[in-house]
A and B are shown apart, each in its own frame.
Chain A
Amino acid sequence: MDLASFARSLEALEERALSSVAAAASPDDLARVDAEILGRKGELRELLGGIGALPTEDRPRVGALANPIRERLEAAIAARREDLELAAVEARLAAEALDVTLPARPLHRGSLHPIRETEREISRIFGQFGFVVVESPEVETDELNFQALNIPEDHPARDLWDTIYLREPTERPAGAPRRLFRTHTSPGQIRAMRASTPPIRILTPGRCFRYEAVDASHAFEFFQVEGLMIDEGTSMADLRGLLDAFAHAMFGAGRPTRFRPGYYPFTEPSVAFDIGCVVCDGSGCPACGRSGWMTILGAGMVHPVVLRNGGIDPERYQGFAFGMGTDRITMLRHAIRDIRAFLANDLRFLERL
């Protein structure tokens, strides 16, 4: 064999190889072609193994002939590989195409109860002013629920609270106060006062019980949040400012507010706190009894008797308390017309929040 025929063999190899590369239909195909031509036992290597048949002086020139061919083949294989990979990705993507307008897979929504969320919102707002939640028991004594709050036995003000009492399983010891389901969260105030010293800023939220016929605005189990602030100079003006801030945070900055005189045995002076009707914005509607105002809470300066019963000197200290129905605040906030919805737990209702 002479160099010229060797060169022709190389050229023939290249031609055949290029057409095999071009014909490779998949990366696997191409890898096989690659191995057949450029591999350790490939055709090129085999051809170059025949170099011994050449005259000695021609042998060094084989490299100059074969290397460009090898490079061209390598480049062709690389190019082909890239094309094939691209095509494969495109084919895969095409195959994976979905109708993205299909509805999302349903996940259970989950929700938080509106009463709890309103409690939290109330506590968050008053928390900004240093008030902290203190919880207290639902089963209370007549002493803490009434007497310590300046509501003695047989006081006409007891009419304000229809009470559910505990059925005592055994005779109570003489002098032990009657036990009941708390009618308001106010006994928490007495507990908090007895457990700490001024300055005091607390919220006592929770479930309350009253002997009430159930209708759209009355329930025998309901929720209240009560606030108490006591210091040396805490005044009605502070109460007014704080409640205004609360009403504006809860019901919007422009909401009008007013104090009007009220009556509670445990506060003196006592006030009712009204906001402009959230339904009609003050123009008068059935929801506000056409008055344009809605009462959202009762408040006042803690009665000296209550301070004394809480172990606090009423000459040195003074402060205010306020109490609101969490149910009512929630109803106003979320336009709910029936208090019974809260304990009914219809998921269609709950899943709105």
Chain B
Amino acid sequence: MRVPLSWLREHVEIQLSPEQLADRLTLLGMEVQGIERIGAQWEHVVVGEILEVAPHPGSNRLSLTRIRTGEGSERSIVCGATNIAPGQRIPVALPGSVLPGDRRIEVTRIAGVESAGMLCSGAELGLTVDADGILILPAETPIGVALPDLLGDVVLDVDVKPNRGDALCIVGLAREVAAATGAPLRRPEIVVAESGDRTEDHLAVSVEDPRCSRFVGRWLDGVRVGPSPLEIQRRLMAAGMRPVSNVVDASNYVMLELGKPIHTFDAEAVHEGRIVVRAARPGERIETLDHVERELDPEVLLIADPAGPLAIAGVMGGASSEVGPGTTSVIVESAIFDPVAIRRSAFRYALRSEASLRFEKGQEHALARTGADRTAQLILAWAGGRAAVGVVDTDPAEPAPIRVAFRSGRVNRLLGTSLPDADQRELLARVEVTTESAPAGTPIPVLPGEPPVASAPEDQVWIATIPGHRRDLVIEADLAEEIARVRGYDALLGRLPSTIMPAYREDPWRFTDELRHLISGRGFSEVVTHALIGPEDHRRLGLALDDAETIRAENPVTLDHSELRRDLLPSLVHVLADNERQRRDEIAIFEIGERHRLALGEPHAERRLGVLAAGAIDPAGWDEPARQAGIGELKALVAWLADRLGEARVRFLPAEPRPGIDHPGRTAQVTVEGPEGTIVIGTVGELDPRYLAAMEIRAGQVAWADLSVAALQTLVPGRRRIGLPSRQPSVERDLAVVVPETLPAGRVEAVIRAAAGPSLGALRLFDRYRGAPLAPGEVSLAWRLRIDPGDGPPDDSAIDSLIGAVVASLHDELGARIRS
């Protein structure tokens, strides 16, 4: 909310600078988010008097004026406005001034005559919207005064929280300042000079819907609609509202001053002077003030007359009953509506306004009458006329004040303080909350809307009487907050918790962090990408646009981010594309993130490790060529990872490629043989060039891996048994195994491992050879076996028989022969 300081000062004395005041309000929970100085651009703009208005010799549209801006200081200024006359006081921009919009004023010649400055309109000063003529100042305005001293202001931008609707107005914030500084609050003096017949002679109100709890109406006639006084226009502008006319401005002024939204109707347009508050009927329509014809939903609360809708209650008036220049009699509506009803109406028609915002937060019952009276008072003052005697009021009875019991001991327990009862009561008194002692055992409202809870006999209980405007103080904890807030949090001393520690719980990030550190240590960069991706990304993965398992947003910010990713791959490929655009084509990245789907209608998230590499994985140096990323590099990474995590040995098996996405000849499933069977870790491979082209990737070869984090975690043993190595040195034997080329090497490896048994320490393929003297279609796989001889004395024959068993198995199971 924009708060002009000059207006705030009318209701409370302020000795502080704007910055100090902003600090105090902020520390009171009314956060000041900005300080704006109106008139900061009015340097060299002063008040002048028009001495003479003469025709311009060179133009019949211009006048030549003689202006006095101080003792012995007269000047000629050319002016195009027609509303000027000798004797008027007006703002004069002297040469050297720079007006809003960077408009520089200098001594110039206009149509051949020198002009030493400019007479300013309100619009040219950024003060009013009225651009019809020069801003005519009141006749008593002193000549020569700098305009900022006269009309300048400081505006605080205050963020009033949703629970403090009462502070969403000048008087409400003045009340907060009063609480902070101790200065008295000056409420507006509200007196309506009534005369003639009674309001009910002109106006009848019936409320047919419980969502309107009070309707106060007033009736005025003889009103002359015109502009509001300059100071009022200035205030409204400073507060961010556009002045309209004295009658409309009066209602807006009351909303800003007291926080009470008011609506005014042209009384002539209200049939029979009868107002009905009711729900809309099917098929009803209204043209609202913004000249939009709207269909009314039966849920919407209406202000109507016998002929039909007049206004959408609390949201916007109708065009038919709008107060205009010809209006002479006015009905003032000051009502209390159900906050939810107004919020729904405002959302339904996308018409959230300053008024609906205040209704949504709930309104004090008493404000209905105060607001009606204040509006009538201001209309009389600004537009003249007569207010009929009395009001029409559908619920004049004031409700009893809310009383909230609280325990001073619990307040201290919540705050971690030891404030004496007297201090707590004094702090509440500063915000108009009075307190009285209550008998032991008085029940305490702990939860809103629920029966209070009995207090213990030893508790000191106080009963707080809440002023009507503080609808937010309902339970004991609310009073604890009020005490802490008014006291100021600077006074709250911190301490470290000294209570019982909770039971040990495993950190779920321990494992993912190990993965992150291992992989990034291998030169991969961690990325974090959007969980929401586009339908096109999913379509390219072969998922139908209406795939039933895809989780979609009803109201996405953009279509490109409207579906929860089913797979990490598109995001990683997008990172590659983006970096390629930055001329970075060596990429090795990974992400640990979730893939999502609906399973039996319920959202299901699974954490995956996605890895992607393109370009040189070992960049070229001056002495070595680059090594390009391919399936081999990522297989190595995955195998190493499994070994590091749990001495697990992965197996790569040919996997079914997704058509057009995976390279059909370079896609492998990664598995580990566990004690409870085969664990599938994920997939590793390269991408189909057609997929890369569709994703606008320049790189010709991109390798990726998609691994299950949960499966990787199963590789980590709870407690790893290490033992000691053999005292004997390891023995190495080489075997060149000749098999058909079509036989997967994985089969050969599996046979060797099975036959060699546990004493095989390491197995490495160090050569793969085709050609003479091998027969066509044959391949020789040269393996180096590293055998752990055990702790006994060296025994070559045992090693020999182990190798013999391996050779025999290779021959028996695969028909392989050994090349010597």
**Interface on A for B, CB 8 Å cutoff?**
102-113, 115-116, 120, 123, 127, 129-130, 132-135, 137-139, 154-157, 159-160, 164-170, 179, 181, 196, 199-201, 207, 209, 211-214, 220-221, 229, 231-245, 258-263, 265, 268-272, 289, 291, 301, 303-305, 308, 314-315, 318, 342-348, 350-351
B555 to chain A, nearest CB (A): 6
How many pairs of residues, A versus B, come closer than 8 Å at their CB atoms?
279
B489 touches A260 (CB 8 A): yes
Chain A, Cβ-Cβ closest to B35? A290
Given known A261-B485, A269-B484, contact A112–B526 (CB-CB < 8 A): yes
Chain A, Cβ-Cβ closest to B588? A108
B584 interfacial contact with A, CB 8 Å: yes
A258 to chain B, nearest CB (A): 7
Chain A, Cβ-Cβ closest to B454? A315
A167 touches B494 (CB 8 A): no
Contact of A105 among B339, B520, B522, B624 (CB under 8 A): B624
A261 touches B29 (CB 8 A): yes
A270 touches B481 (CB 8 A): yes
Chain B residues whose C-beta falls within 8 Å of the C-beta of A314 in the assembled complex: 446-447
A301 to chain B, nearest CB (A): 6
A345 touches B528 (CB 8 A): yes
A123 to chain B, nearest CB (A): 7
B617 touches A108 (CB 8 A): yes
Chain B residues whose C-beta falls within 8 Å of the C-beta of A201 in the assembled complex: 501-502
B553 touches A166 (CB 8 A): yes
- In the bound assembly, the distance between CA atoms of A237 and B480 in angstroms comes to 13
- In the bound assembly, the distance between CA atoms of A343 and B453 in angstroms comes to 49
B33 interfacial contact with A, CB 8 Å: yes
B603 touches A112 (CB 8 A): no
B477 touches A303 (CB 8 A): yes
Chain B, Cβ-Cβ closest to A181? B553
A135 touches B508 (CB 8 A): yes
Chain A residues whose C-beta falls within 8 Å of the C-beta of B743 in the assembled complex: none
A318 touches B414 (CB 8 A): yes
- In the bound assembly, the distance between CA atoms of A174 and B324 in angstroms comes to 49
B656 interfacial contact with A, CB 8 Å: no
B554 touches A167 (CB 8 A): yes
B489 touches A271 (CB 8 A): yes
Could you say which of B158-166, B537-545, B782-790 contacts chain A?
B158-166
B400 interfacial contact with A, CB 8 Å: no
A170 touches B163 (CB 8 A): no
B72 interfacial contact with A, CB 8 Å: no
A211 touches B557 (CB 8 A): yes
B360 interfacial contact with A, CB 8 Å: yes
A344 touches B501 (CB 8 A): no
Task: Name B536-583 residues within 8 Å CB distance of A.
Answer: 548, 551-557, 561, 564, 575, 578-579, 582
B557 touches A233 (CB 8 A): no
B530 touches A221 (CB 8 A): yes
Chain B residues whose C-beta falls within 8 Å of the C-beta of A181 in the assembled complex: 532, 553
Chain B residues whose C-beta falls within 8 Å of the C-beta of A241 in the assembled complex: 494-497
The total of chain B residues at the interface (CB under 8 A) is 102
- In the bound assembly, the distance between CA atoms of A342 and B528 in angstroms comes to 7
Contact of A138 among B31, B447, B554, B594 (CB under 8 A): B594
B622 touches A103 (CB 8 A): yes
- In the bound assembly, the distance between CA atoms of A318 and B478 in angstroms comes to 14
B509 touches A169 (CB 8 A): no
A165 touches B553 (CB 8 A): yes
Task: Name B297-333 residues within 8 Å CB distance of A.
Answer: none
Chain A residues whose C-beta falls within 8 Å of the C-beta of B731 in the assembled complex: none
Chain A residues whose C-beta falls within 8 Å of the C-beta of B596 in the assembled complex: 138-139
Chain B residues whose C-beta falls within 8 Å of the C-beta of A135 in the assembled complex: 508
A289 touches B34 (CB 8 A): yes
- In the bound assembly, the distance between CA atoms of A339 and B615 in angstroms comes to 29
Given known A237-B495, A263-B29, contact A127–B507 (CB-CB < 8 A): yes
Query: Which of A110, A127, A221 has most chain B Cβ within 10 Å?
Result: A110
- In the bound assembly, the distance between CA atoms of A166 and B532 in angstroms comes to 12
- In the assembled complex, 12 residue pairs joining A and B whose CB atoms fall closer than 8 Å, in A order, are A108-B586, A110-B523, A139-B551, A139-B564, A167-B554, A199-B501, A199-B502, A201-B501, A207-B531, A231-B500, A236-B416, A269-B415
B474 to chain A, nearest CB (A): 10
A197 to chain B, nearest CB (A): 9
A169 touches B548 (CB 8 A): yes
Contact of A221 among B499, B531, B551 (CB under 8 A): B531
B43 to chain A, nearest CB (A): 21
B543 to chain A, nearest CB (A): 14
B747 interfacial contact with A, CB 8 Å: no
B713 interfacial contact with A, CB 8 Å: no
B527 touches A345 (CB 8 A): yes
- In the bound assembly, the distance between CA atoms of A289 and B467 in angstroms comes to 35
Given known A127-B507, A133-B508, A220-B561, contact A237–B555 (CB-CB < 8 A): no
- In the bound assembly, the distance between CA atoms of A303 and B519 in angstroms comes to 43
B270 to chain A, nearest CB (A): 30
A179 touches B603 (CB 8 A): yes
Contact of A263 among B164, B448, B493 (CB under 8 A): B164
A341 to chain B, nearest CB (A): 11
A236 touches B414 (CB 8 A): yes
- In the bound assembly, the distance between CA atoms of A236 and B485 in angstroms comes to 12
A322 to chain B, nearest CB (A): 13
- In the bound assembly, the distance between CA atoms of A170 and B600 in angstroms comes to 11
B27 interfacial contact with A, CB 8 Å: yes
A225 to chain B, nearest CB (A): 12
Chain B residues whose C-beta falls within 8 Å of the C-beta of A229 in the assembled complex: 497
- In the bound assembly, the distance between CA atoms of A67 and B233 in angstroms comes to 129
Shortest Cβ-Cβ A-B pairs, 5 listed: A237-B416, A261-B29, A235-B416, A108-B523, A269-B481
A213 to chain B, nearest CB (A): 8
A132 touches B505 (CB 8 A): yes
- In the bound assembly, the distance between CA atoms of A92 and B582 in angstroms comes to 46
- In the bound assembly, the distance between CA atoms of A271 and B485 in angstroms comes to 9
Task: Name B27-59 residues within 8 Å CB distance of A.
Answer: 27-29, 31, 33-34
- In the bound assembly, the distance between CA atoms of A134 and B617 in angstroms comes to 36
Given known A116-B526, A258-B489, A343-B529, contact A106–B413 (CB-CB < 8 A): no
B6 interfacial contact with A, CB 8 Å: no
- In the bound assembly, the distance between CA atoms of A104 and B621 in angstroms comes to 8
B242 interfacial contact with A, CB 8 Å: no
Given known A170-B601, A237-B492, A240-B494, contact A231–B499 (CB-CB < 8 A): yes
Contact with A along B721-732 (1 / 0, CB 8 A): 000000000000
B818 interfacial contact with A, CB 8 Å: no
A291 to chain B, nearest CB (A): 8
B579 to chain A, nearest CB (A): 5
Inter-chain pairs besides A138-B605, A157-B163, 8 sampled, C-beta below 8 Å: A106-B621, A155-B162, A167-B554, A209-B531, A233-B413, A234-B497, A262-B161, A304-B446
B478 touches A268 (CB 8 A): yes
B598 interfacial contact with A, CB 8 Å: yes
Given known A199-B499, A235-B416, A271-B489, contact A110–B622 (CB-CB < 8 A): no
Chain B residues whose C-beta falls within 8 Å of the C-beta of A111 in the assembled complex: 520, 525-526
A269 touches B477 (CB 8 A): yes
- In the bound assembly, the distance between CA atoms of A18 and B603 in angstroms comes to 93
- In the bound assembly, the distance between CA atoms of A342 and B502 in angstroms comes to 34
Chain B, Cβ-Cβ closest to A290? B35
Chain A, Cβ-Cβ closest to B160? A263
B585 to chain A, nearest CB (A): 11
B531 touches A238 (CB 8 A): no
Chain B residues whose C-beta falls within 8 Å of the C-beta of A196 in the assembled complex: 502
- In the bound assembly, the distance between CA atoms of A19 and B621 in angstroms comes to 51
Query: Which of A166, A170, A269, A342 has most chain B Cβ within 10 Å?
Result: A269
A260 touches B29 (CB 8 A): yes
Contact of B497 among A107, A129, A160, A164 (CB under 8 A): A129
Chain B residues whose C-beta falls within 8 Å of the C-beta of A263 in the assembled complex: 29, 161-164
B619 interfacial contact with A, CB 8 Å: yes
Query: Which of B161, B414, B502, B575 has most chain A Cβ within 10 Å?
Result: B502
B344 to chain A, nearest CB (A): 6
B29 touches A262 (CB 8 A): yes
Chain B, Cβ-Cβ closest to A106? B619
